[in-house]
Amino acid sequence: MNTRVFPRLRRLSSIVALAAAAGLGGCASYTPAGLSAMSAADICEIEFRQGRNISPAGRQAIQSELSRRNDNCRNHAAEVQERYATFMYREIYGGLSP
């Protein structure tokens, strides 16, 4: 049996897995219809957690929805921080409430 086949198959499977991950990574999109169903705190939490990973179109959709509501994330900063702190506590201590 040719031993060079296995490294090629491993490399090919790695390339396919990487392509699939890259393809699925772009699946989360923020549409006006989806954002309009969320609370302003939820929208701000997305913006806080996703940070630089939000596409320019997604960031524009978020800002447009907040402008439509005449709101901004500064109004929800305390709630978003509290949600994040609770999330981190659960991640560190395994589901226990603070």
Q: Does some domain include residue 98?
A: no
- Check residue 23 and give its pLDDT: 44
For 41-59, b/e burial (b = at least 16 CB within 10 A) is: bebbbbbeeeeeebeeebe
Q: What is the pLDDT of residues 7-35, one digit of tens each?
A: 555 555 555 555 544 444 445 678 888 99
Q: What is the pLDDT of residue 24?
A: 43
Q: Can you give the pTM of this predicted structure? A: 0.65
Domains contained in the chain, number: 1
* Residues 32-83: tens digit of each pLDDT: 889 999 999 999 999 999 988 999 999 999 999 999 999 999 999 999 999 9
